Amino acid sequence: MLCERCQQRPANVHLTEITNGQKNESNLCEVCAREMHLQGLSFNFLPQMSLQNFLAGLLKHDPGIGQAAHADVAGKSCEKCGLMERQFVKQGLLGCGHCYKSFEERLEPLLRRIHGSSKHSGKVPERAGGPLRQAREIESLKNQLREAIKLEEFERAVEIRDRIRELEKDMKQGGKQPDAGQGNI
């Protein structure tokens, strides 16, 4: 198969785009694909979005970051690598692991906005994760219980409490105890 663009060289770059259920394919030679990429042409596709470009875009439009009104923090820098906050806002990349602590007050709201939480909990493996999955479910139920009590939804709170007791009983019978930090409510 020949390149769809130059019709001279063999097509060995195959691109597939699916937009709104419509599939578009392009078959190009390496030379044409490289030229189109260097010229900024996107094969009629959306431009590539890297994670750092995504973060930089969010940071630039966040009223709490990079704004003139917050000049006191715009000059903040990482103590270890020296990365300035304005560089982070521009690039969307942190310089080192210590940057997370240095820019914590700015990163936490951003992480909450993206992930819904600023705490990473990861995934639990299906085969080996039974006790961990139960412990996480218990912790989630305890959070729901606190919320139900706060909202004075006592019938719901009783149901949640009973479910927590069931799960804790199952864990004890299986020889598995929930983490010490997950005491009874």
Query: Taking a C-beta distance cutoff of 8 angstroms, is the pair 170, 134 a contact?
Result: yes
Residue 123 lies in a domain: no
Statement: residue 14 has pLDDT above 80 = yes
Q: Is 57 part of any domain? A: yes
- Does 29 score more than 80 pLDDT? yes
In a domain, residue 68? The reply is: yes
Task: Please say if the pLDDT value at position 8 is more than 80.
Answer: yes
Number of structural domains the chain divides into: 3
Residue 124 domain flag: no
Residues 160 and 105 in one domain: no
Q: Which of 53-57, 64-68, 112-116, 143-147 has the highest mean pLDDT?
A: 143-147
Which tokens go with 161?
Answer: 């409490």
Look at residue 58 in the predicted model and tell me its pLDDT.
65
Contacts of 184 (CB under 8 A, 6+ apart): 164, 168
pLDDT tier at 181 (50, 70, 90 boundaries)? very low
120 in a structural domain: no
Say what the pTM is.
Answer: 0.37
Provide the domain limits for residue 161.
130-173
Instruction: Say whether both 57 and 27 belong to one domain.
Output: no
Q: What is the mean pLDDT of the chain?
A: 75
Nearest to 170, CA basis, from 145, 141, 139, 134:
134
Residues 3 and 43 in one domain: yes
Buried b (16+ CB within 10 A) or exposed e, 8-43: eeebebeeeeeeeeeeeebbbbeebbeebeeeeeee
Do 156 and 139 share a domain, yes or no?
yes
Nearest residue to 89 via CA among 117, 59, 112? 59
Of all residues in the chain, the percent with pLDDT exceeding 70 is: 65
Average pLDDT over residues 119-148: 80
Rounded Cα distance, 34 and 36, in Å: 5
How many Å apart are CA 117 and CA 97, to the nearest integer?
Answer: 19
Q: Average pLDDT, stretch 109-123?
A: 72
Domain identity same for 79 and 34:
no
- Residue that is last in its domain, among 115, 145, 161: 115
Residues 55, 44, single domain; the answer is: no
Q: What is the pLDDT of residues 57-87, one digit of tens each?
A: 666 655 544 443 344 445 788 888 888 888 8
pLDDT of residue 161: 95
Measured over the CA atoms of residue 34, residue 37, residue 40 and residue 43, the dihedral's sign is: positive
Q: What is the mean pLDDT of residues 84-110?
A: 81
Q: Categorize the per-residue pLDDT at 130 as very low, low, confident or very high, splitting at 50, 70 and 90.
A: confident
2 shares its domain with 31: yes
Q: Please give the pLDDT value at position 73.
A: 45
- Residue ending a domain, among 115, 139, 164, is 115
